[in-house]
């Protein structure tokens, strides 16, 4: 069976994406910091007939992230789709939001480490095998601020925009290789209103977009609007 690896797996978008791919015959490798939370997701998916396994790793520890993806590849015989979406709504030690005029190297660097460098490390762990096989999908998620920045997220949006630029450029480099890279922009508040209100959507409404990108393979970016 093909395998989906979700980096930053959680009970919201991660679980919804796992269900979307799992219901279509994929095994699922779940990567995140907390083993107990991952095992809960594995249990939920298992009850629904989806084979899943937990691979704990800290996205900020690039060696542990690479080890987790290597273990997932060994467990399932390969990784066909990588989805990277560390949950921005979960408090992460060292990450502090800042307005553009308040951005410093100190509060921007952790955002880049979390949102961008982690994605690069995850890609380096799976891309060589995908290239060798001539097939694979790399999916990366950010919020709407990566395209249309919001002042309250000055440092986070800058890091997300860097990731977006890199993913679109990566897809251009991979043209003709059989491997696709694509960026998903979630331009709504997931599950409830944000600090300024605005449109909302459930993870279950958003997740099919990832399958569409994997199947169609016709664009390097998709934006989910309410």
Please report, for the chain, the start and end positions of each structural domain, with discontinuous segments joined by +: 3-224
The two three-digit tokens of residue 221, written as one number: 């970016």
Average pLDDT for the chain: 93
Mean pLDDT, rounded, for 11-24: 96
Mean pLDDT, rounded, for 82-94: 72
Q: Which CATH number fits domain 3-224: 3.30.1330.60, 3.20.20.100, 3.10.690.10, 3.40.50.720?
A: 3.40.50.720
How far is residue 54's CA from residue 30's CA, in Å, rounded to a whole number? 5
Q: What is the pTM of this model?
A: 0.94
Task: Evaluate if residue 195 carries a pLDDT over 70.
Answer: no
How far is residue 71's CA from residue 165's CA, in Å, rounded to a whole number? 29
Using alpha carbons, select from 67, 88, 66, 70 the residue that is nearest to residue 79: 70
Mind listing the pLDDT tens digit for each residue in 1-10?
999 999 999 9
Residue 89: other Cβ atoms inside 10 A: 13
Task: Evaluate if residue 39 carries a pLDDT over 50.
Answer: yes
């Amino acid at each position: 069976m093909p395998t989906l690896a979700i980096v930053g797996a959680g009970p919201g978008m991660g679980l919804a994406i796992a269900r979307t791919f799992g219901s279509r015959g994929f095994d699922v490798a779940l990567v995140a910091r907390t083993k107990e939370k991952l095992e809960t997701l594995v249990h939920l998916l298992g009850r629904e007939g989806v084979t899943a396994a937990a691979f704990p790793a800290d996205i900020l520890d690039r060696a542990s992230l690479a080890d987790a993806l290597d273990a997932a590849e060994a467990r399932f015989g390969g990784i066909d789709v990588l989805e990277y979406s560390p949950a921005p709504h979960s408090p992460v030690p060292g990450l502090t939001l800042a307005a553009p005029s308040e951005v410093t190297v100190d509060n921007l660097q952790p955002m880049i480490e979390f949102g961008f460098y982690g994605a690069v490390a995850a890609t380096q762990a799976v891309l060589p095998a995908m290239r060798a096989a001539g097939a694979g999908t790399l999916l990366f998620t950010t919020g709407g601020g990566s395209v249309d920045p919001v002042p309250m997220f000055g440092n986070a949006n800058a890091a997300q925009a860097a990731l977006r630029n890199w993913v679109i450029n990566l897809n251009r480099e991979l043209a003709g290789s059989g491997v696709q890279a694509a960026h998903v922009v979630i331009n709504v508040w997931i599950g409830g209103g944000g600090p300024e209100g605005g449109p909302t959507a459930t993870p279950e409404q958003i997740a099919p977009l990832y399958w569409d990108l994997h199947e169609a393979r016709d664009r390097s970016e998709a934006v989910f609007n309410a």
